[in-house]
Amino acid sequence: MKEFKRILFPVDLSESSPKIVSYVQAIAEKFESKIHLLFAARVFEYFASIYVPLPSIGEFEKEVIEGAERRLYEFMDQYFSEFVNTKAVVVAGDASEEIINYIEDKHIDLVIMGTHGRKGMDKILFGSVAERVVKASPVPVMVVNPYKTD
């Protein structure tokens, strides 16, 4: 049987993320896995073409990343404090691309993520990150519908 020593749990820090935690914990316990929490913050450089000053964009991105790091560490402390092999990382860029890059760079064995993060217009505009990851991932992806869990 395949062993999953490095599990990637991409989170969007929405109300959906905690609903997937028990799945990550169960598999991590079974395989004594290292858990990688990943949050991808959107970059806003494309706003430069509409005359938003670059220093403003850069400062805003910096604040977004710093805020995401704080929130991700809080999430890690709240849900994964008993898992000493947990790592939290914030990256900047398109979520699905950054997840795939992280899988390849860190030699991830399994991805566990939610089927839903965004709803409504956001999903229409940004598409399904889970769908793009499933299609492009070089490793197995377990997708969990956070609205159908106990």
Report whether pLDDT(136) > 70.
Answer: yes
The pLDDT assigned to 29 comes to 97
Q: Could you tell me the pTM of the whole model?
A: 0.87
- More confident: 73 or 15: 73
Question: DSSP for 71-109?
Answer: HHHHHHHHHHTT-TTEEEEEEES-HHHHHHHHHHHHT-S
Q: What is the pLDDT of residue 122?
A: 47
pLDDT number for residue 60 = 80
Q: Which of 97, 150, 89, 147 is nearest to 118 (CA)?
A: 147
pLDDT of residue 6: 98
Q: Taking residues 128-144, report their average pLDDT.
A: 94
Max mean pLDDT range (39-48, 86-95, 108-117): 86-95
Provide the residue type at 97 as one letter. E
Q: Which one is predicted more confidently, 1 or 148?
A: 148
Tell me the C-alpha distance between 45 and 57, whole Å.
Answer: 7
Report CA 107 to chain centroid distance, whole Å: 16
φ, ψ dihedrals at 105, nearest 5°: -65, -40
Residue count of the chain: 150
The interaxial angle of helices 54-80 and 21-31, nearest 10 deg, is 60
**Could you tell me the two tokens for 63?**
């604040």
**For position 1, what pLDDT does the model report?**
67
pLDDT score for 126: 43
Residue-level pLDDT at 128: 85
Torsion angle of alpha carbons 64, 91, 39, 14, nearest 10°? Answer: 30
- Would you state the pLDDT for residue 61? 82
CB 4 within 8 A of CB 29: no
